Amino acid sequence: MNKSIIEISNRINALMLMVTCWPSSAKTEQPPIFIKRILIKLGSLVVLSCVWFGMCGANATAQQVPDPSGWAIDTGTLDHFEREYGGSAAQRILSWQYLLDHLHGKPEAVVLDEVNRFFNQVRFLGDIEHWNQTDYWATPLELLASNGGDCEDFAIAKYFSLKWLGVPVDKMRLTYVKAVELNQAHMVLTFHQSIGQEPIVLDNLIDEILPASERSDLVPVYSFNGDGLWKAKLLGDDPRLGDADDIVLWKELRMRIEQKR
């Protein structure tokens, strides 16, 4: 990797350490705004440099055409979430940005595992308790800033994080299942290495990513991604049911994501 890229990465590591270790006894509960601004600018520079010059390594990697703009946010957006949810909201969002910067160019299996485990650390909160709504699909920023969400929010955050890292959309499905032991509807992210192949399951209930055949506690119902809506099956081609935008919550979610909300 180019020395200048390594130097910038080292600076980000140092600044992230400052944010993580910012003393709780300080007058303010959050690190100075200039640190956040530097982190955002340096993080974007590292990713864009890697994409432009191809310096991040690409042996058996997940990335095809990464989209750093997907997870890059400005200080105005960061300040908005701080005002709404407190200073720790910005730290969680910056940790997510740092993770995606770090994962760019890593092997696909590593990317899937680390993204799955990162979001599984967030608190599980039902929509009525958390958003005072019967059903609400949060953006990745809302999930992290509020430090809470339900199964749809976890699956959605993983889907868009992987998409922005360059994982092809046609390999991923947001899949509604019945969680047998819980006796309720549940959403997971399934990953298909190729069409017709058995998918693996990224689930907020467990950290381990397992083949669908080893998740007898889940019964697939239907699945969707940015390209369409399907009746879900464990194996074989799933019958197409329509377009993803037929799902109103999905359409509204995508609009909020585009607005960095």
**φ/ψ of residue 150, rounded to 5:** -110, -170
* 227 in any annotated domain: yes
Beta carbons of 75 and 40 less than 8 angstroms apart: yes
Domain extent, residue 197, equals 169-249
Give the per-residue pLDDT at 33: 47
Q: Are strands 218-225 and 206-211 parallel, antiparallel or unpaired?
A: unpaired
- The label of the residue with tokens 């005072």 reads 132
* 204 in any annotated domain: yes
Residues of the chain falling short of pLDDT 70: 1-71, 227-246, 261
* 238 in any annotated domain: yes
- Kindly list the distances between the CA atom of residue 31 and the CA atoms of 55, 71, 93, 215, in Å, as whole numbers in the listed order: 31, 21, 14, 43
* 88 in any annotated domain: no
* 61 in any annotated domain: no
* 206 in any annotated domain: yes
User: Domain of 214: which CATH number?
Assistant: 3.10.620.30
Give the DSSP H or E segment for 111.
Answer: helix 108-119
* Structural domain total, the chain: 1
pTM of the predicted structure, to 2 decimals: 0.72
Give the per-residue pLDDT at 207: 96
Give the per-residue pLDDT at 155: 97
Six token digits for residue 92: 């969680």
Cα-Cα end-to-end distance for the chain:
34
Give the per-residue pLDDT at 242: 52
Give the per-residue pLDDT at 244: 57
* 143 in any annotated domain: no
* 52 in any annotated domain: no
